[in-house]
Amino acid sequence: MERTLFFVKPCFDEYDECIALPAKARRFTPEDREETISFLEEKLGKDTFRTLTCKRVKASKEFWEQFYIHVKTKFPKSYEAMCTDFADKEIIVYVLEGENIIERVRKIVGPTKYELNIGKGTLRERFSSSLNVYRTAAHASNIEGVKKDLELFEQYGLF
């Protein structure tokens, strides 16, 4: 059985330095969060995974600096903005377990790279106000990063 980490980010502000498209910043509401979880459960099928952790947490700027360290050299302005804006804002973090759960959750969340087709029926499409902000809606660990993601959340006492 695989495990993955999934969370809804606290905001949808524009952090991308790649292209200059107009974007409308938007904050996540409690209703959006509940809709997101229902969306995930509906798409995965409730009987195909177990929820090991479901917790509302607030993380420090230091945590986000570690979590997004891979963004720092590529997009330094985005990195600083995300880490500052996410600091001490509530997220809902899930640890899910199931067969092929990493790939399944990532497919439902949608692609992270800019593409003209952002994925019909994905979480990122649902909460996008423009192509430029869609990819900041949620985080779903990839196969290479899931261990680091889980360890970092644990190290900072967020589980």
Question: Mean per-residue pLDDT for 47-65?
Answer: 91
Asked if residues 134 and 110 have their Cβ atoms less than 8 Å apart, the reply is yes
Structural tokens at position 41? 């459960």
83 confidence band (pLDDT: 50, 70, 90) = confident
Q: What is the mean pLDDT of the chain?
A: 78
Closest CA to 110 of 84, 138, 87, 72: 138
Q: Is the Cβ–Cβ distance between 7 and 93 less than 8 Å?
A: yes
Q: How many structural domains comprise the chain?
A: 1
Residue 36 scores a pLDDT above 80: no
Host domain of residue 46: 2-155
CATH number where 42 lies: 3.30.70.141
The closest of 43, 4, 9, 6 to 135, measured between CA atoms, is: 9
Q: What is the pLDDT of residues 22-33, one digit of tens each?
A: 333 455 566 666
User: Are 96 and 50 within 8 A, CB to CB?
Assistant: yes
Confidence of residue 118 (pLDDT cuts 50, 70, 90): low
**Three-state DSSP class for 8?**
strand
